């Protein structure tokens, strides 16, 4: 068992050489054994073959003839059963086949005897067919007996001719037997000559086969080593053969081509990812210094649309109640028109990717909007085929949604989604910082305005001057032509301190506006 396992796990060359060695030994054994058996093959020579075949066909014919007699008797006794009828037809067909094979044998029986046998059988077949056509149940016993006697007579006549043919065939075999000794001698000499030639071929053939296999295997091995070293241009030359070696070479070439394609594809993906990351970095860098919220959002939509080659991009912001998503900025003419019209989306609507992204605080991506029931079409953007909505969130606090659309189906692959998701986070932080800056700026302006008013009031020398200064500075701060301060005295009607009649002014409100 161990030797068998070593044989099947050895190299191809070793297997071939071992196989041919075994074949050589077996051939020598068979040659010696064949020579010893040559004296016993007289009955199997080529000269006896036609007569042997003829005897076989004649024997088949005789068996079918005897079977036919039995079937006819069964057919008559069963009053013409369908099974017996079918068996008779089959037997007649087989006898016809035997006769045809007898006619086709070259150097067989006497054609005259074969013709007589065929003629007698045809007559027998006609009478049997007539019998099969009759309804036995309506025939009288006399008619049935007449048919039976005629058919059996034809069977007997057919058998007589068959026996004559068989005697003639046996006589031919006796004549051939006299020539067998000379044939055996000639066959022995021929067998020895073939053995010598075969022996010479066996010595040369294994080496040729081994060279035919090992040479291309060596080439394939060298190519595989080059591939493993990183040389993906290495190819195995084409072998015009249809064997395992050729299939192995083809498989290695296909593997090399696929590796090349995979590397090119990976390089393209890496380049695209790098480009997207660079674009995202450029966008982040360009918007990081913008502190005006409206300018920031408009710049973001234009940059995202242009740099990522998208159909459209716009940004929605939550209103103070958080129930509505108002369009804050949009790229191009479509974005400008929608903002002018005060376009907004209810945060609770189900048929909106933007609302869903804001509610769930998760990106929503649709590769084909025609198949998305939750897609809300926009008549101003009729070419949209794919869409992605990214929440602008700082932690769990959602500020708004970045919505991007493309006229290409499945435009937002995994790499682009990752870049846009990261960019959305940066936009959210920048937006939050801009809002914080605006709040700080308003507080600073308020403090400066209050400081100016207080400083001017401190320079007044009496109440009337104080009120006059306050009214004047408030007018300057509010940029209005008329300002009045109403004083509420205890148990009296308000008395204006100036000749003007404007409404009451809240100092805190003035500071907030300033």
Residue positions counted in the chain: 514
Note the pLDDT of residue 396: 87
Note the pLDDT of residue 315: 93
What are the domain boundaries of the chain?
A: 49-178, 284-435, 459-513
| Per-residue pLDDT reduced to its tens digit, 299-329 | 888 888 888 889 999 999 998 888 999 999 9
For 479-505, what is the HEC assignment?
Answer: CCCCCCCEECCCCCCCEECCCCCCCCC
- Same-fold call for 49-178 versus 284-435: no
**Cα–Cα separations (whole angstroms), residue 475 to 67, 86, 444, 449, 494:** 137, 127, 19, 12, 20
Note the pLDDT of residue 277: 65
Note the pLDDT of residue 359: 92
| Per-residue pLDDT reduced to its tens digit, 15-41 | 566 666 767 766 676 667 666 656 556
Is residue 7 within 8 Å of residue 15, measured between CB atoms? yes
CATH of domain 49-178: 1.20.1440.210
Is residue 437 within 8 Å of residue 465, measured between CB atoms? no
Note the pLDDT of residue 262: 78
Coil, strand, or helix at residue 512?
A: helix
Q: Which residues of the chain fall below pLDDT 50?
A: 4-5, 7-9, 495, 497-514
Domain at 284-435: CATH architecture: 2-Layer Sandwich (3.30)
Cα distance between residue 183 and residue 438, in whole Å = 121
Phi, psi of 322, rounded to the nearest 5 degrees: 80, 0
Note the pLDDT of residue 513: 46
Q: What is the DSSP string of 51-75?
A: HHHHHHHHHHHHHHHHHHHHHHHHH
Note the pLDDT of residue 54: 65
Is residue 256 within 8 Å of residue 227, measured between CB atoms? yes
């Amino acid at each position: 068992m161990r030797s068998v396992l070593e044989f099947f796990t050895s190299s191809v060359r070793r297997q071939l050489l071992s196989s041919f060695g075994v074949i050589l030994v077996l051939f020598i054994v068979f040659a010696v054994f064949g020579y010893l058996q040559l004296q016993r093959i007289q009955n199997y020579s080529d000269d006896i073959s036609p007569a042997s075949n003829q005897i076989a066909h004649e024997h088949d014919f005789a068996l079918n003839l005897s079977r036919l007699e039995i079937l006819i008797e069964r057919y008559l006794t069963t009053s013409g059963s369908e099974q017996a009828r079918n068996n008779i037809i089959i037997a007649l067909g087989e006898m016809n086949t035997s006769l045809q094979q007898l006619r086709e044998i070259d150097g067989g029986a006497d054609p005259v005897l074969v013709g007589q046998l065929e003629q007698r059988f045809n007559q027998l077949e006609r009478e049997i067919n007539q019998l099969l056509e009759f309804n036995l149940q309506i025939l009288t016993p006399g008619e049935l007996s007449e048919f039976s006697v005629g058919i059996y007579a034809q069977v007997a006549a057919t058998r007589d001719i068959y026996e004559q043919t068989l005697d003639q065939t046996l006589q031919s075999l006796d004549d051939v037997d006299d020539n067998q000794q000379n044939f055996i001698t000639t066959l022995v000499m021929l067998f020895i000559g073939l053995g010598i030639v075969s022996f010479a071929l066996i010595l040369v053939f294994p080496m040729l086969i081994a060279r035919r296999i090992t040479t291309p295997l060596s080439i394939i091995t060298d190519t595989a080593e080059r591939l493993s070293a990183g040389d993906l241009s290495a190819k195995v030359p084409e072998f015009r053969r249809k064997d395992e070696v050729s299939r192995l070479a083809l498989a290695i070439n296909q593997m090399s081509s696929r590796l090349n394609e995979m590397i090119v594809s990976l390089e393209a993906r890496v380049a695209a990812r790098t480009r997207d990351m660079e674009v995202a970095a450029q966008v982040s860098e360009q918007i990081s210094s913008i502190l005006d919220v409206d300018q920031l959002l408009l710049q973001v939509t234009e940059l995202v649309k242009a740099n990522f080659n998208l159909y459209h991009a716009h940004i929605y912001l939550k209103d103070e109640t958080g129930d509505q998503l108002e369009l804050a900025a949009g790229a191009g003419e479509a974005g400008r028109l929608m903002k002018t019209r005060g376009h907004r989306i209810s945060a609770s609507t189900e048929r909106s990717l933007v609302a869903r992204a804001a509610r769930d605080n998760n990106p929503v991506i649709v590769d084909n909007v025609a198949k998305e029931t939750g897609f809300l079409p926009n008549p101003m953007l009729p070419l949209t085929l794919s869409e992605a909505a990214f929440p602008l969130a700082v932690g769990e606090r959602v500020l708004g949604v970045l919505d991007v659309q493309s006229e290409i189906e499945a435009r937002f692959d995994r790499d682009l989604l990752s870049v846009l998701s990261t960019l959305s986070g940066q936009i959210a932080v920048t937006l939050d910082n801009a809002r914080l800056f605006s709040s700080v700026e308003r507080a600073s302006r308020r403090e400066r305005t209050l400081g100016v008013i207080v400083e001017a009031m401190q320079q007044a020398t009496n109440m009337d001057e104080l009120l006059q200064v306050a009214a004047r500075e408030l007018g300057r701060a509010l940029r209005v032509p008329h300002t009045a301060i109403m004083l509420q005295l205890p148990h009296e009607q308000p008395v204006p301190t100036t000749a003007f009649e404007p409404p009451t002014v809240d100092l805190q409100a003035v500071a907030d506006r300033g």
